[in-house]
């Protein structure tokens, strides 16, 4: 699986997909399920859960509450272990807009039972991601609007500055748990305003400075 690189004919081959949970205060508050002082944590999605912009995400089985989470995605260009915050930005190839698609009912249920999150987070087609914009073209994304609309109606609308843990801290923290490798993606968490979708909905995610991610929700198989 590979993502298109904006402004070029080349592609960014993806190795792993990491996601940060609980990284915007207002989203933690709307979820009403964790201590606001808890540190953010990581989970993974399978690489073949990627969906490119313009494609369709089939409505998944085993849920009646299928939700989007718009997120800034970091694409790792240089691997490393135990990376310092100060050195972290040197490891980034580029940035993209992503949706952390979630079976919210299954996620809540597994959380309450103390079970893993896979059924709620790591299912087929759960990881739409837009084109990767190289740092060489857009610089580092550390501020600006992050938003999503459904059928043209605004849903999530916030700013990157509201992240609790910023990108250098996320990279440093994650690289103390895993060896980061070129090709890894990191979804950096979502602001408030998550909501359910239904078949036929068109989702447009945006981060200032990057091209939009647009997907359609399809009927389940
Ligand atoms: Mn998320």
Prediction pTM value: 0.96
Angle at CA of residue 188, ends 99 and 153, nearest 5°: 40
Cα(86) to ligand 1 centroid in Å equals 25
Which domains can be identified in the chain, with CATH numbers?
Answer: 2-218 (3.90.850.10)
3-class secondary structure, 135: helix
Res 221: pLDDT: 63
3-class SS string, 154-218: EEEEEEHHHECCCHHHHHHHHHCCCCECCCCEEECCCCCCCCECCCCCEEEEEECCCCCEEEEEE
- Report pLDDT for 29: 84
Mean pLDDT across the chain, nearest whole number? 95
- Listed as ranges, residues in the chain with pLDDT below 50 are none
pLDDT for the residue 32:
74
Ligand 1 centre distance from Cα of residue 19 (Å): 6
Quote the ligand 1 centre to 193 CA distance (angstroms): 12
Q: What is the per-residue pLDDT for 22?
A: 84
**Ligand 1 center to residue 191 CA distance, Å?**
9
Render pLDDT for 12-43 as a digit per residue (tens, 0 to 9): 999 999 999 988 888 888 887 666 667 768 99
Q: According to the model, what pLDDT value does residue 25 have?
A: 84
């Amino acid at each position: 699986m590979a993502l298109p690189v904006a402004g070029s004919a080349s592609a960014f081959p993806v190795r792993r997909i990491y996601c940060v949970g609980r990284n915007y205060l207002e989203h933690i508050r709307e979820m009403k399920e964790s201590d606001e002082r808890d540190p953010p944590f990581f989970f993974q999605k399978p690489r073949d859960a990627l969906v490119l912009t313009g494609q369709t995400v089939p409505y998944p089985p085993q849920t009646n509450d299928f939700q989007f989470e718009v997120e800034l995605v970091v694409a790792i260009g240089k691997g490393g272990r135990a990376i310092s915050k100060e050195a972290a930005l040197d490891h980034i190839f580029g940035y993209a807009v992503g949706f952390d698609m979630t079976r919210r009912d299954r996620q809540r249920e597994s959380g309450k039972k103390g079970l893993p999150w896979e059924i709620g987070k790591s299912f087929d087609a759960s990881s739409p991601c837009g084109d990767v914009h190289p740092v060489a073209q857009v610089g580092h994304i550390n501020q600006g609007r992050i938003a999503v609309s459904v059928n043209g109606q605004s849903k999530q609308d916030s700013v990157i500055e509201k992240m609790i843990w910023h990108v250098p801290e996320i990279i440093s923290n994650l690289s103390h748990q895993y060896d980061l490798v070129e090709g890894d993606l990191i979804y950096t968490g979502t602001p408030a305003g998550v909501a359910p979708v239904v078949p036929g909905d068109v989702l447009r995610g945006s981060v200032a400075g990057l091209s939009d991610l647009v997907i359609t929700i399809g009927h389940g198989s």
